[in-house]
Structure 1
Amino acid sequence: MKPLLAGNDMGLMSEVGVPGVVDPGAELVVAAHKLGAKVKPLVGPVSILLGLMARELNGQRFAFQGYLPQGTRERTAKLKLLEAESKKLQQTQLWIETPYRTPC
């Protein structure tokens, strides 16, 4: 954060397309706010929203759940809970995954 404190503009790029959404960049944004820096978001293509727009899913009511648990039992339980919630609330459930977390 030294360059920011010295008055320099800084940028944060993310593979996700939106720094801070399921992204460790969120910690940098919080730190910048604590220093009183102006934070200006510039959004790139977000795979989660692009996927929602391309499917026949409810884009008016959805919940982003982040990552699912990695353990088989925990993941199955969470998916059952999300399915029930989706039916009850008529809500699309979105989550993200990466090949680095997916068991082979």
Structure 2
Amino acid sequence: MAQDLRILSSIAKVFLRKVGRVHERRQSNPEVGEVLQITEEGTNRTIFYLVTKKASYQKPNYEDVWNGLCSLREVLLAEDLRKLAIPKLACGLDNLD
């Protein structure tokens, strides 16, 4: 796990430390544009991971970010979730606006 932390962005590191369980979702080999969902045990909070690139060292493009957001919208509507907190996406190290 320590090796994995070195290649993750700073926001991914924070989520991995606070939430964990990311690796169990990665093993399902998600496609770019999919949404991974983790529900925290003992809370009603759900964490959604947008898959915007195949590998952590790659750069996403606007189309893949858009497809991830569309997938997220479908999940939110299907589960009747009405509140969402989301950080800025694909900026910083990913170099998108």
Does TM-score exceed 0.5, indicating one fold?
no
**Normalised by the size of structure 2, how large is the TM-score?**
0.36
The structure in which a higher percent of residues are strand is 2
Bigger Cα Rg: 1
**Normalised by the size of structure 1, how large is the TM-score?**
0.35
